[in-house]
Amino acid sequence: MTDETPSGGSWPHVLRLPVLGVWTRFASNSDDLIDRVLQRYGDWAGLEGNDDLLTDSPCTVRIVVDPDLRASASEGDAPRYHHRLPDPTRLFVATGLGFGVADTRRFESIAYVDRALLSRPDDFADGMLDPLTLFLLGARDRQPLHATAIERGGVAILLAGPSGSGKSSLAWAALESGFRILAEEPVYIQIEPRLRVWGRTNRVRLPEDAVRHFPGIRQRPTRLLNGKTKIVVSAGPLAKPYAETAGLCILGRGDRSSPTLERVTTAEAVEKLARDLDPGFHLYADTIGERIRRVAERGAWHLSVGDSPADAIPLLEEVEAALASGP
């Protein structure tokens, strides 16, 4: 890849943002495309000037808006994305309205999309922009963990567990009790030069039956790109997208109606979460264990949520107090 456009000229629209604390350069032939990047990542500009937080090992994402792609899908079609990993260093993304590749050997991504894809900003960002960007950042010491994170007073609690374990509902109950949602899965873990956990979105995707616990929710369910139907709600601005003090709760449903909390060892936490990784997360099978260990060193627990997420909040407050006082 070169820094020239496919036609040999220079990129007319360029934006540089510290996404997850990593300087990332976005280049396009379209100002509308750059607007979509700003919609998704513009809040990261708030980190500029905080040099101690930023990694000076850049990544580049180039996206060409190409009208000749229109013939492969009609403008009214909902995009269906296909993501493929031919090897650990490359990610291919394809849809009827565009295609792209991310390459961690070069720390560069390139994509060609039809303008019609930009008319669905969230779908474009979820299916094309995020994969092409975050795949690169994973190789810049920002590795994803299948977890949600809440935070208060500078202390983050990672809520880990498989799909359906109640991470999002518990995080929403915590938000209503004075916590802040730092990350709605995944959480991105940095370990050099020190441990940081990063979040990147203020949206929470709740299961359809969440309204029985949270009757104030008025949003209608939405069908996501992965085929699941969720209630997508905003958790408010992500003013501080990272935390440097963190611990871990591994969620389970248990066989009781009331929540329970049990301390586990660091080794138990690593063994539980580093095995049987979901697709995509398996790319980090050789390295995610060290990141889990670094988080769990300060404290790790098994939390059975029980019937009501709100009932588990006092236990989360116990965890918060223990983490704040140190290992």
Is residue 227 scored above 70 in pLDDT? Answer: yes
For residue 191, what are its two tokens?
Answer: 């370990």
Range of the domain at 63: 13-140
**162-199 pLDDT, tens per residue?**
877 889 999 999 999 999 999 988 999 999 999 999 99
Last residue of one domain, picked from the residues 118, 140, 162: 140
Last residue of one domain, picked from the residues 140, 163, 189: 140
In a domain, 3, yes or no: no
**97-108 pLDDT, tens per residue?**
999 999 999 999
In a domain, 319, yes or no: yes
**74-87 pLDDT, tens per residue?**
545 567 899 999 99
Residues 122 and 168 in one domain: no
Mean pLDDT to the nearest integer, 136-141: 97
In a domain, 5, yes or no: no
Which range scores top for mean pLDDT: 87-91, 119-123, 234-238?
Answer: 87-91
What mean pLDDT is reported for the chain?
89
For residue 50, what are its two tokens?
Answer: 């905080």
pLDDT for 4 equals 61
> Which pLDDT band, with edges at 50, 70 and 90, does 259 fall under?
very high
> Which pLDDT band, with edges at 50, 70 and 90, does 204 fall under?
confident
Is residue 285 scored above 80 in pLDDT? Answer: yes
pLDDT for 6 equals 64
Is residue 1 scored above 50 in pLDDT? Answer: no
Residues 149 and 283 in one domain: yes
> Which pLDDT band, with edges at 50, 70 and 90, does 256 fall under?
low
Residues 148 and 129 in one domain: no
> Which pLDDT band, with edges at 50, 70 and 90, does 8 fall under?
low
Residues 242 and 261 in one domain: yes
How far, CA to CA in Å, does 139 sit from each of 7, 128, 148, 205, 287?
30, 18, 21, 26, 11
Q: How many domains does the chain have?
A: 2
